[in-house]
Structure formats: structure tokens, C-alpha cells
Amino acid sequence: MLKSVQSIYSVVWYQDKVRLVDQTRLPGEYNIVEISRWEDMAIAIKTMIVRGAPAIGVAAAYGLYLGAREIKTGKRSLFLAELEKVAQSLRETRPTAVNLFWAIARMLQIAYETMGDVPTIKEALLLTAQNIQAEDIATCEAIGKHGLSVLPTTPERLNIITHCNTGALATAGYGTALGVIREAWKSDRLARVYADETRPRLQGAKLTAWECFQEEIPVTLITDSMAAHCMQQGMIHAAIVGADRIAANGDTANKIGTYSLSVICKYHDIPFYVAAPLSTIDFELNDGSQIPIEERNPAEIYQIGETVICPEGIEYYNPAFDVTPAALITGIITEKGTVEPQNLVKLCY
């Protein structure tokens, strides 16, 4: 029997190890991976055992602590130099998800600012990683409440479409876009979730649908190419997605297929919301053209399981993310409230 979503935490510190839900095995198998070395955490992030920008950030924070724990020198300067090397290796695992870089930067700042010997710094790093995890849960709960307040008022119970996975598995335990959906369900404002399958990794089919099913939230799985048809038939009232990185002007990078979903929402006059923590906003980037887009192994699109589905010898292109222009986004929902994309800077004051 699989566990309730409310008891699932994708990243947990337990008995001096990090426990991860292996998302590559869902929905068929609920498996826990225990990690005690930073190199193994880097592999887990890169191979998508852990995924979702907030969850990646939490995992990276613990990964940096594991790296710190493995450094044997007691000399502060040498310790910090080795820690920087671990940090750089972790940064290279997933280039698009800014929460990864944010969490590592916060951990390094603590390392440099903590007075005392190396053991004291290591203790501070573990506490910081635990705080990042706890803060993310509180942040997602706040996002859920703010998102509920901006949903369309009619009809009374809404059909909401979402893309990729933004739930408990993608965060420290509650969800961003799926957190809003969860709040709508608890408040009797939700009729049904329409989950895009999210090719090529099928996060919508394998993870979002699974989370909804565990919590008995009505969910209908559709292929990515069916979203326009469903809107044309009047079956969708709002769209809510997550984000891996948001530029200062509101342009948003999210799982490939998000941009096309926003375009058809605009055509059908359906509100399109992005739900993400403030840590996902990269104010150093002026617009979405500066967001690095990860390209993944073409095997993700030319085969299903062990079966090759394409002719031999053709070329492949497999970007993992696309960028939705701010003009197509109705509002960005954060833990501090919802704003129009062009007004993101107001959330910092």
C-alpha cells in the first residue's frame, strides 16, 4: 500500500543520511534511496532520482553538507577551498533550476560567516540545510493559500490543468502549483485536475497523477497535445504550473511544453498562473533569453523503455525546458502573494 501524499517528503535527513524518494521508479514502486556521500547526491540530482526545483535545492543543501562532512582538514582556509570544489560539482548537475544555485549560495555564505573551528562550520551547515527544508514546506503552504485567493470565481468548482509535477515530490513536501490545487480541493473549489502527461519524462503521468490519486483528488490524464482540444470544448477553467527559473521581467523557464500551454491558454482566454517560491526568481537575469536551457539525453525521446520508436540515423533535439514570455502569464504566485510578472520586484520590498 502506497503512502498518503501528505506523509511523503521527497528529501529527508534521517540518522545521518539523506533519504530520497526515488522518483524514477514511480508509480510502480515506492522506493527510498539513502545517500551518505555528496557524489551520490550529485548523481541523484543529475539522474532525476530527485527532481522539481525546490526539492533539488533542498537536496543540494544536504549534498553540500555531506561534502563538508567528508573534508578531513581542520584548517579553515583549506576546508573552505575544498567546500567550493564540492559546490561547483553540485552546480553542474542541473543548469536550469535556480533553486539549486540559491541553496548552494546560502550554504556557502553560512560557511564563510560562521565563526569558530571547522566542526562548528559543519554543524552550522547541517542546521542550514534543515532550515531550508522546513522553510520550503512553509513557503509552499503559503503559496497554496495565496493561489486559492486568485482563482476564477466562476464556476464554483473549477477544472484546472497543470504541466509536469509540482507537488510533494517536487518540493520539500507540499507543492507549488499542486499546492494551490490541493488548497482548492480542501476548500471545495476544485472539480478536477487535468494533468498533461509531460513528454518525454512523463512527470505528469507518473508523478502528478499518482499524487492526486493517493490523495483522492479527481484527476484526468491527457497527452500534451490534447490540452488545446480540452480548452476548445470548455473543459478547462484555469492553468497553474511551476517554474525552474524566473527572470526579473517575469519570463519563466519550466518543463518543456509549458510555453505551448500558455499560448493556447491565451487564445482561449484562460488564466495562466505560475506558482513558485521567491527563491526561483533570478533577478540577475533581465529576461528569459538569458536562462540556460538544459538539453538531455536523446534516448528520452527516441525510445520507450528498451523499445526504440524512431528510424535509425535521424537527428534528435531534446531540450528539457522552455521559456514562457511574461506577456502570456496572468500572475506569479509566491509565498508573499500574487503579482503580475512585470511587478515581481515589488515582492522584495
Give the three-class secondary structure for 212. helix
- Cα separation of 289 and 65, whole Å? 33
Give the three-class secondary structure for 145. helix
**Quick one: 275 exposed, middle or buried, by C-beta within 10 A (0-12, 13-18, 19+)?**
buried
pLDDT at site 346: 83
168 touches 175 (CB < 8 A): yes
- Cα separation of 199 and 204, whole Å? 8
pLDDT at site 347: 81
- Cα separation of 192 and 212, whole Å? 10
DSSP assignment letter at 204: I
- Would the pTM of this model clear 0.75, i.e. be above it? yes
pLDDT at site 349: 62
The stretches in the chain having pLDDT less than 50 are 1-6
Give the three-class secondary structure for 196. strand
SS3 content of the chain, % helix, strand, coil (to 5): 45, 20, 35
- Cα separation of 247 and 145, whole Å? 24
pLDDT at site 1: 31
List residues with catalytic annotation: 244
Residue showing cell 536523446: 298
Give the chain's domains with CATH numbers: 5-139 (1.20.120.420), 147-348 (3.40.50.10470)
- Cα separation of 277 and 176, whole Å? 8
204 touches 195 (CB < 8 A): yes
296 touches 302 (CB < 8 A): no
The residue among 1, 12, 53 whose CA lies nearest residue 35 is 12
Strand pairing report for 190-196 and 219-222:
parallel
pLDDT at site 120: 98
- The per-residue pLDDT for range 152-210, each reduced to its tens digit, is 999 999 999 999 999 999 999 899 999 999 999 999 999 999 999 999 999 999 999 99
Cell, residue 315 = 537527428
